[in-house]
Structure 1
Amino acid sequence: MAYLLLEYLGGNAHVEQLSVHPSHARQGLGSELLDVAEELARGEGAEWLTLTTFRDVPWNAPYYRRLGFEELDSNELDDGLRAILECEALVGLTRWPRIAMRRRVN
């Protein structure tokens, strides 16, 4: 139905993967999972919830923007996010533009 993989990276909580089965899409499951991830991050003292995603795919970056995530410029990337983007490039994910995003943990 839906899942979220969360890891801690450089003191922040990083969403490694968020996936909702198409038969359960548009029911708020993704945003609920992100809220739970934020609660966990808050409990660990993280300042940011981060992720990497496709910039132009409608259910990727535009979706995360609607949920309060902001795109990071290359000069705002920490070593961990930079390494993730480099690894994604090595496996071919940069065929389409990828970005890193973050949302402040409240």
Structure 2
Amino acid sequence: MRIRLAAPAELPLLQDIERAAGEPFRALDMAAVADDEPPAVEMLERFRRAGRAWVAVDGEGDGDPVAYLLSATVDGAEYIEQVSVHPRAARRGIGRLLIEHTAERARTEGLPALTLSTFADVPWNAPYYARLGFRILEEAELTPGLRKIRAAEAEYGLDRWPRVCMRRPV
């Protein structure tokens, strides 16, 4: 498996990965999450141009992406905006590889931690991240940027299911 920056022509493939990765939410009575449209190509392009849209590809990197990760800097930490793995590539450690790649990049940029916001009770969300060393942040620990992200998620309707912010040192 190889991690590299996404290419412009691959951005529609990232949308396909996102749609496919959303399907398992149906089994948890979270059809609204499964039906949610992936980020627009224009938004994906902004992450790509900023050097923060990473893909995982089989072999030497000549194949199509099977997973991707988007990140940004929020309040002095690397915030994982999205990590999605196509179900046909699931359970192979690809999400972990993308997260470790992001942690290494954050370390080289002098950032102290990775942060994210996720569903608390979805097995491949908060419990998965906890196994990777993330811890749930208490309300008082949320930075202004994380509070803003949580408010936007609530406005979007994601608070129908419990959500948490998490942090892991790099």
The secondary structure found in structure 1 opposite 2:105 is helix
Alpha-carbon distance between aligned partners in 2 of 1:40 and 1:6, rounded to the nearest angstrom: 11
Letter in 2 for 1:2: A
Q: What is the TM-score with the length of structure 2 in the denominator? A: 0.61
Q: Do structure 1's residue 76 and structure 2's residue 144 form an aligned pair?
A: no
Bigger-Rg structure (1/2) = 2
Match of 1:20 among 82, 85, 109: 85
Question: Offset at 1:13?
Answer: 0.3
Q: What is the TM-score with the length of structure 1 in the denominator? A: 0.98
Q: Do structure 1's residue 38 and structure 2's residue 89 form an aligned pair?
A: no
Q: Do structure 1's residue 49 and structure 2's residue 114 form an aligned pair?
A: yes
Letter in 2 for 1:72: L
- Which residue does the alignment assign to 1:94? 159
Structure 2 gap ranges (5+): 1-65
Structure 1 gap ranges (5+): none
| Aligned-residue CA RMSD (Å) | 0.5
Query: Which consecutive segments of 4 or more residues in structure 1 shift more than 4 A?
Result: none
Alpha-carbon distance between aligned partners in 2 of 1:52 and 1:46, rounded to the nearest angstrom: 18
Which of 1 and 2 has higher RCO (CA within 8 Å, sep 6+)? 1
Alpha-carbon distance between aligned partners in 2 of 1:102 and 1:20, rounded to the nearest angstrom: 21
Letter in 1 for 2:141: E
- Once the two structures are superposed, residues 46-73 of structure 1 have per-residue CA deviations (whole angstroms, 9 ceiling, x without a partner) of 1110000000000100000000000000
Alpha-carbon distance between aligned partners in 2 of 1:35 and 1:24, rounded to the nearest angstrom: 17
The secondary structure found in structure 2 opposite 1:63 is helix
Identity %: 55
Greater share of helix: 2
